[in-house]
């Protein structure tokens, strides 16, 4: 919130010069400008009054941000120069060594330098964007295109996307540099010097990311993002409630979802999510059939509030297996894995009528949308909620805290690779070192959830400087032979609730439990898309439709395992290698290989879901009594 009083900014300088030369003329012109602007803007507004002051205030705040970014941009140049300098130094060091190695090293540093150049370009784009919407170059066009006047005071989609892109690509450059230099450490005599460069780079990366996070807090939209997220969430929840409580249950079209999927709770939750999205897309009321459920054979409704207050049976109506005609009154759904022709509305698609609102507060709309389904589904009944509360009360759960989910037992070696505790803790350490740039951290706390009871003790012994929260008895009940019991479910719900309440989540997205924790996190705040680190997969929904990224920069393959892309190409994504590259198939050329991640951007799929026009956009208290 600091307004820069120093007066060394570009605008202030400009203003001072103006004052001395054209003092009077300027004041008159300024007054005219204000008057004209006011009259031009006021008809565009929905709410008049205080908002105008707010806008001015926001503009000023954004100006101070702008100065910060501009400075940061200078630091970027410094960084590049420093890097080139160390490149030269390395050249001197390795002169009398293997020339191949030197050339290779030079080559890699050049690539790093190129990435920095591109990041710098993005920074200046961001500055231009802010300049535009803060009205620095005042003309009517700019006022009209600055979206925040049009859409209730929020940031424009372009600004939000660009801001997130700079953040994400700062991480990408770090993945790349870290990977390349670590490789050199392993086969080079200069490992100490390389490690020093790497440590410096890590420090610079944390500083950049930290500043970008502050940018988000200072750009004047922090509160707006929060209320907008709450409002859209509220709208989705009311639509689901409307769908699930038809005026005449007997008459309503329905879809039946059987909870007999023979898998863990995370997997079963996602099964219900898929059913609920199906229900929402086809305007059918979801009937959950949970008889003989493996976690509690009394059924889902014994533990959670039913998915409908008023409509929980299909009566004796004929049930048709989907795919069926639109007119079929009751259809029953197969598991998502066994659908041959997948409907386009399945994840990662999001509703087109909400998409442009969601992208303005959340960097990962697909998981936000899935999180909204979970929010509707997962409502523990009083007894279960009390058991959860009691367990939580016994823990010293305080923020800041990092959540770590370590999935072992049946998963390891069959569906996912083993990851050592050190790999998780490396990310925890990085998180805290970045956080400590801006605040004092009294204690580095970690909430550790796992299905392997030995992990917690192991972690406490190996990392005495951290405080580990977690209940070894929960982990014991998660062991494979005790897993499908009510007690084990209580423990898992505690783990999920607490993981979702942490500030940062370190996990493996190959696990459904890890992904559920992240989806729940997405419902706890406006945007959790930068609040996790997955040691393996990128985010996905089991059984999802194709996940593509679109090339935003051209790339010419530099090695046989790389693919070339043109701007606009769609790339079917298999995963991010967290070394600056991801694997995918270019759908235009049908070639598969590695592509620099920063040259691509996520391709969001929109689907025209029903818009539930009967549900008001804003909760209207008068309608509650109807």
Ligand X SMILES: Nc1nc2c(ncn2[C@@H]2O[C@H](COP(=O)(O)OP(=O)(O)OP(=O)(O)O)[C@@H](O)[C@H]2O)c(=O)[nH]1
Chain residues that interact with ligand X, rule: CB under 6 A: 263-267, 405, 407, 411, 415, 449-451, 474, 478, 483, 488, 491-492, 495, 511-513
Given ligand NAG, Mg ion, ligand X, none, residue 227, with its beta carbon under 5 to 8 Å by kind, binds: ligand NAG
DSSP 226-255: HHHHHHHHHHHHHHHHHHHS-S-TTTS-EE
75 makes contact, choosing from ligand X, ligand NAG, Mg ion, none, with CB < 5 to 8 Å by partner type, with ligand NAG
**Rounded CA separation 294/300 (Å):** 10
How far is Cα 172 from Cα 576, in angstroms, rounded to an integer? 10
Strands of 35-192, DSSP E: none
Q: What, of Mg ion, ligand X, ligand NAG, none, does residue 363 touch, CB below 5 to 8 Å by kind?
A: none
Nearest-5° angle of CA 401, CA 384, CA 491? 50
Name which of 493, 446, 483, 430 is nearest 199 in CA terms.
Answer: 430
CB 429, min distance to ligand X, A = 21
Residue 408 site contact among ligand NAG, ligand X, Mg ion, none (CB < 5 to 8 Å, cut-off depends on kind) = none
DSSP 189-231: TTHHHHHHHHHHHHHHHHHHHHHHHHHHHHSS-HHHHHHHHHH
User: Cβ contacts of residue 352 below 8 Å, gap of 6+?
Assistant: 606, 607, 608, 609
For residue 244, the partner it binds in Mg ion, ligand X, ligand NAG, none, with Cβ less than 5 to 8 A by kind, is none
Instruction: Give the residue among 173, 174, 201, 167 at the shortest CA–CA distance from 531.
Output: 167
CA distance 518 to 449: 13
| 389 binds, options Mg ion, ligand NAG, ligand X, none, Cβ within 5 to 8 A by partner type | ligand NAG
Q: Which residue in 359, 388, 407 sits closest to 535, CA to CA?
A: 407
**Residue among 52, 68, 120, 305 that touches ligand NAG (CB under 6 A):** 68
150 touching ligand NAG, by CB under 6 A: no
Of 140-148, 258-266, 362-370, 468-476, the segment contacting Mg ion by CB under 5 A is: 258-266
Contact set for ligand NAG, span 272-331 (CB under 6 A): none
Q: Which is nearer to ligand X, 450 or 585 (CB)?
A: 450
Helix or strand run (H / E) with residue 601: strand 600-602
Rule CB under 5 A: say whether 514 interacts with Mg ion: no
Binding residues among 447-486 for ligand NAG as defined by CB under 6 A: none
Beta-ladder partners of 468: 446
Which positions from 152 to 171 touch ligand NAG by CB under 6 A, shown as an x/- string? x-------------------
68 makes contact, choosing from ligand NAG, Mg ion, ligand X, none, with CB < 5 to 8 Å by partner type, with ligand NAG
Taking CB under 6 A as the binding criterion, the range among 299-307, 385-393, 436-444, 476-484 that sits at the site for ligand NAG is 385-393
| Contact pattern from residue 259 through residue 278 relative to Mg ion, giving x for each residue in contact according to CB under 5 A and a dash for the rest | -----x--------------
Q: Choose one: 221-229, 317-325, 423-431, 441-449; the region binding ligand NAG (CB under 6 A).
A: 221-229
Closest CB to ligand X among 255 and 496? 496
Question: Minimal CB distance to Mg ion: which residue?
Answer: 264
Q: Interface with ligand NAG includes 618 (CB under 6 A)?
A: yes
264 or 365: whose CB is closer to Mg ion? 264
For residue 57, what are its two tokens? 């205030």
CB 346 within 8 A of CB 327: no
**Which one, of 389, 178, 369, 190, lies nearest residue 277 by Cα?**
369
Q: Which residues contact 26 (CB under 8 A, 6 or more apart)?
A: 18, 19
Q: What are the strands of the beta sheet with 401-406, ordered from one edge?
A: 467-469, 445-450, 401-406, 504-507, 532-534
Q: Which is nearer to ligand X, 435 or 496 (CB)?
A: 496
Tokens of 548: 């593509």
Minimum CB distance to ligand X smaller for 56 or for 415: 415
Examine residue 182 and tell whether it contacts ligand NAG (CB under 6 A). Answer: no
Report the run of H or E that residue 18 belongs to, with start and end: helix 10-41
**Residues at the interface with ligand NAG (CB under 6 A):** 68, 71-72, 75, 152, 224, 227-228, 231, 382, 385-386, 389, 618
Residues engaged in binding Mg ion (CB under 5 A) = 264
């Amino acid at each position: 919130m600091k307004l820069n009083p120093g007066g060394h900014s570009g605008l202030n300088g400009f203003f001072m010069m103006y004052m001395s030369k054209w003092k009077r003329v300027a004041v008159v012109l300024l007054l005219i400008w204000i008057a004209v602007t006011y009259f031009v803007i006021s008809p565009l507004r929905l709410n008049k009054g205080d908002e105008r002051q707010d806008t001015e205030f926001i503009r000023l705040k954004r100006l101070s941000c702008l100065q910060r970014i501009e400075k940061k941009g200078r630091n970027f140049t410094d960084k590049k120069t420093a890097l080139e300098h160390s490149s030269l130094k390395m050249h001197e060091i390795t002169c009398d060594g293997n020339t191949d190695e030197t050339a290779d090293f030079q080559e890699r540093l050049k690539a790093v330098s190129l990435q920095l150049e591109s990041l710098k370009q993005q920074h200046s784009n961001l500055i231009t964007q802010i300049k535009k919407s803060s009205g620095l170059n005042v003309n009517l066009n700019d006022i009209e295109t600055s979206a925040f006047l049009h859409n209730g005071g929020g940031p424009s989609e372009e600004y939000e996307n660009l801001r997130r892109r700079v953040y994400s690509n700062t991480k990408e450059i770090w993945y790349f540099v870290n990977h390349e230099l670590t490789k050199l450490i392993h086969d080079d005599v200069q490992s100490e010097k390389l490690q020093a460069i790497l440590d410096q780079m890590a420090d610079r990366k944390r500083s950049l990311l930290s500043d970008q996070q502050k940018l988000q807090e200072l750009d004047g939209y922090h509160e707006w993002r929060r209320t907008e997220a709450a409002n859209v969430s509220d709208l989705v929840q009311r639509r689901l409630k409307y769908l699930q409580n038809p005026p005449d249950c007997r008459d309503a079209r329905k879809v039946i979802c059987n909870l007999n999927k023979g898998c863990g709770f995370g997997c079963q939750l996602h099964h219900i999510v898929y059913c609920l999205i199906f229900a929402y897309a086809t305007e059918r009321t979801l009937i959950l059939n949970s008889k003989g459920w493996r976690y509690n054979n009394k059924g889902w409704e014994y533990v959670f509030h039913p998915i409908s207050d008023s409509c929980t049976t299909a009566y004796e109506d004929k049930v048709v297996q989907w795919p069926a005609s639109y007119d079929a009154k009751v259809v029953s759904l197969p598991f998502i894995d066994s659908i041959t022709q997948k409907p386009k509305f399945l994840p990662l698609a999001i509703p087109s009528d909400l998409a442009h609102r969601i992208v303005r507060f959340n960097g990962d709309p697909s998981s936000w949308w899935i999180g909204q389904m979970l929010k509707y589904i997962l409502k523990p009944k009083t007894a279960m909620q009390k058991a959860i509360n009691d367990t939580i009360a016994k823990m010293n759960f305080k923020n800041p805290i990092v959540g770590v989910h370590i999935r072992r037992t049946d998963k390891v070696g069959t569906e996912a690779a083993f990851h050592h505790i050190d790999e998780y803790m490396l990310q925890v350490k990085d998180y805290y070192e970045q956080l400590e740039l801006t605040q004092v951290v009294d204690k580095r706390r970690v909430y550790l959830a796992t299905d392997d009871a030995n992990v917690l003790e192991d972690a406490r012994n190996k990392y005495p400087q951290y405080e580990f929260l977690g209940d070894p008895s929960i982990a014991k009940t998660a062991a494979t032979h005790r897993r499908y019991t009510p007690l084990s479910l209580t423990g898992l719900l505690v783990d999920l609730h607490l993981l979702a309440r942490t500030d940062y989540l370190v996990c493996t997205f190959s696990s459904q439990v890890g992904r559920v924790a992240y989806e729940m996190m997405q419902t706890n705040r406006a945007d959790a898309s930068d609040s996790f680190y997955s040691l393996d997969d990128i985010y996905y929904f089991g059984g999802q439709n194709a996940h593509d990224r679109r090339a935003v920069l051209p790339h010419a393959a530099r090695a046989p395992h790389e693919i070339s892309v043109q701007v606009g190409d769609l790339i079917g994504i298999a995963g991010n290698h967290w070394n600056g590259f991801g694997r995918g198939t270019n759908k235009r050329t049908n070639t598969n290989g590695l592509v620099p991640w920063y040259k691509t951007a996520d391709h969001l799929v929109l689907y025209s879901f029903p818009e539930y026009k009967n549900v008001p956009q804003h909760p209207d208290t008068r309608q509650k009594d109807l």
